[in-house]
């Protein structure tokens, strides 16, 4: 655990908002399968999981845009919109076949849920896809809200997803924290007025220590004890 800022935790938060891809779920293998199916339809060679992981973030349209650009055939305008439309059903076919829970995800959610803390997922992933993934892994019953990228006008790092999740939970920003794995998660938390916690092992291409989070955990297994320690210090 590394604290880079002082989180104002006079008490445990009333709500915790979680990112999904790279935070609760290791979805990179499924996302890679979807990207490669789309590329194959355009007679383009496949990418490795590592290559696609570097493209993840900012929602599916940006993923498609980055994939074609990396293939040497960048798309813009209507051509890009058409490719995104093609990707949607492909993406929905590749949600749970190869994905796995991140270490400590189920345990952390269960512990916070038992403590009476309201939990939500705020993700740039489309809402339907997020719900299907969470249902598959048996996490959905512990969540008070699931907010996907298509539920708001602006995805992370905009605060819109987080603010909508808090509205659904009926919790003020001053009583909540955001847990994620990327720069977009930190940006959205800052914009919404929430402390930001990052977990190692996600999809950022920049070391998590350099992203300006209040706290960095090695895994979600550390998170309950880390928040408790910060509350005691405060």
Residues with active-site annotation = 19
Whether the CA torsion 72, 55, 92, 95 is positive or negative: it is positive
**β-bridge pairing 118-122 and 100-101:** unpaired
Cβ-contact 144, 121 below 8 angstroms? no
Helix (H, G, I), strand (E, B) or coil at 215: strand
Neighbours of 121 (CB within 10 A): 28
Whether the CA torsion 56, 227, 162, 94 is positive or negative: it is positive
Token pair for 4: 């880079």
What residues have CB less than 8 Å from 51, skipping those under 6 apart?
A: 70
Cα 9 from Cα 177, distance rounded (Å): 10
What residues have CB less than 8 Å from 221, skipping those under 6 apart?
A: 103, 104, 107, 108
């Amino acid at each position: 655990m590394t604290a880079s800022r002082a989180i104002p935790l006079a008490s445990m938060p009333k709500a915790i908002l979680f990112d999904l891809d790279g935070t609760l779920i290791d979805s990179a293998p499924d996302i890679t399968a979807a990207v490669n199916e789309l590329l194959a339809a355009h007679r383009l060679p496949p990418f490795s999981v590592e290559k696609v992981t570097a493209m993840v973030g900012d929602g599916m349209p940006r993923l498609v845009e980055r994939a074609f650009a990396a293939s040497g055939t960048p798309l813009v305008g209507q051509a890009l919109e058409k490719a995104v439309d093609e990707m949607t059903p492909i993406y929905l076919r590749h949600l749970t076949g190869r994905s796995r829970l991140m270490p400590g995800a189920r345990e952390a959610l269960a512990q916070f849920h038992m403590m009476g803390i309201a939990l939500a997922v705020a993700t740039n992933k489309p809402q339907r896809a997020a719900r299907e993934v969470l249902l598959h892994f048996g996490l959905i019953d512990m969540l008070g809200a699931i907010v996907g990228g298509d539920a708001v006008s602006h995805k992370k790092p905009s605060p819109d997803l987080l603010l909508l999740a808090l509205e659904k939970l009926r919790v003020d920003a001053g009583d909540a924290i955001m847990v994620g794995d990327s720069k977009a998660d930190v940006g959205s938390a800052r914009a919404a007025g929430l402390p930001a916690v990052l977990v190692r092992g996600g999809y950022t291409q920049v070391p998590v220590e350099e992203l300006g989070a209040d706290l960095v955990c090695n895994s979600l297994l550390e998170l309950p004890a880390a928040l408790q320690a910060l509350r005691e210090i405060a």
